[in-house]
Amino acid sequence: MPEIHPHVPILVNDVLEHLVTNPNGIYLDGTVGFGGHASHILKKLSPDGLLIGMDCDSDALSYTTERLSKISQNNFKLIHNNFRYYPEILKKLKINKIDGLLLDLGMSSYELDTPDRGFSFNSNGPLDMRFDISKGMAAMDYIHSESEAGLAKVIKSYGEERYAKKIANSIVQCIKAGKMSTTYDLREAVLSVVWGQHRLKSVSRVFQAIRIKINDELESLSISLINAEGMINIHGRLAVISFHSLEDRIVKKFIQRSSLSCICPKEIPICVCNQIPTFNKVNRKAIIPSSGEISHNPRARSAKLRLAERI
């Protein structure tokens, strides 16, 4: 019987094939979660290899410590922190460079399925949505402290939601009526002003927007990619699994730009930028899950894996 874990990892074979190219290397899984990818990476490493796992979620880390200990006692370390701080964390561990970095973005199935974490609009719970419940501002505090215009901007830019202004106004009315403390309150605030058969998509986009905002997700991703240039060894690999277009755009643009040998404006006849390319694309297009994987794990449906090699 295969073991059942709180989260099913996505595109595992592709991640393993393309990320782990040196069994004696040091690999960082910045979103180690329940150790789905990490357990496979660890199995591929020799006794000289090392896996570092980071996650904001301490529940996940307790589980993963036990899970990985069954594979190896000595060649993994787990750290409770935001992956955006990985250069500092590695420095403290006296590690200068790594051979691969994996980021499997967003939330785990456990986080989504635990009503108390406030990520899901399908179950009622407090409006929290923090990956790290030990710090930062919960969604409820953010929503209550933000202006209507500020809410509309966040819903528009991080949710790409066309009814952002209407929804922001509805949220503010609910706050005034004392009805904005649970996930169902937020869901209702959206459903009371958006009509049509796709209205749940609007709810989903609003939850995504607030989650991105309070966890500062896009900034963490951008900073981590920029730092990858200095932290990954030559021939080492970067692998990012994203779940929506805002994340994927950042990853795609980063890889595209860092593979260029000139970034001078087109009008300039000779190159003056002295740009040195730092990454090469491993695959021309993003890798997406097969229909078989999606039928076993519907949460894989929007995943995109992009890979690059440090040159």
- Strands lying side by side in the sheet with 304-310: 76-80, 50-55, 26-29, 98-104, 232-242, 304-310, 279-281
Residue 29 φ/ψ, nearest 5 degrees? -100, 105
Residue carrying structure tokens 């009008």? 267
- Is 55 a binding residue for ligand SAM by CB under 6 A? The answer is yes
Least distance in angstroms from the C-beta of 98 to ligand SAM:
16
- Is 146 a binding residue for ligand SAM by CB under 6 A? The answer is no
Least distance in angstroms from the C-beta of 170 to ligand SAM:
28
Q: Which of 28, 51, 101, 107 binds ligand SAM (CB under 6 A)?
A: 107
- Is 78 a binding residue for ligand SAM by CB under 6 A? The answer is no
- Is 106 a binding residue for ligand SAM by CB under 6 A? The answer is yes
**Residue 274: partners with Cβ closer than 8 Å, 6 or more residues away:** none
Q: Which of 25, 36, 118, 289 binds ligand SAM (CB under 6 A)?
A: 36
- Is 27 a binding residue for ligand SAM by CB under 6 A? The answer is no
Q: Which is nearer to ligand SAM, 95 or 193 (CB)?
A: 95
Residues numbered 196-235 forming contacts with ligand SAM, rule: CB under 6 A: 220
Residue 272 φ/ψ, nearest 5 degrees? -125, 5
Burial class (CB in 10 A: 0-12, 13-18, 19+), 169: middle
Least distance in angstroms from the C-beta of 7 to ligand SAM:
4
Q: Which of 14, 19, 26, 35 binds ligand SAM (CB under 6 A)?
A: 35
Least distance in angstroms from the C-beta of 21 to ligand SAM:
19
Q: Which of 11, 14, 31, 248 binds ligand SAM (CB under 6 A)?
A: 31
Q: Which is nearer to ligand SAM, 104 or 309 (CB)?
A: 104
Burial class (CB in 10 A: 0-12, 13-18, 19+), 266: exposed
Exposed e or buried b for every residue in 207-224, given b needs 16+ CB within 10 A? bbbbbbbbbebbebbebb
**Residue 200: partners with Cβ closer than 8 Å, 6 or more residues away:** 121
Residues of the shown chain interacting with ligand SAM in the complex, contacts defined by CB under 6 A: 7, 9, 31, 33-37, 54-57, 60, 82-84, 104, 106-108, 111, 131, 220
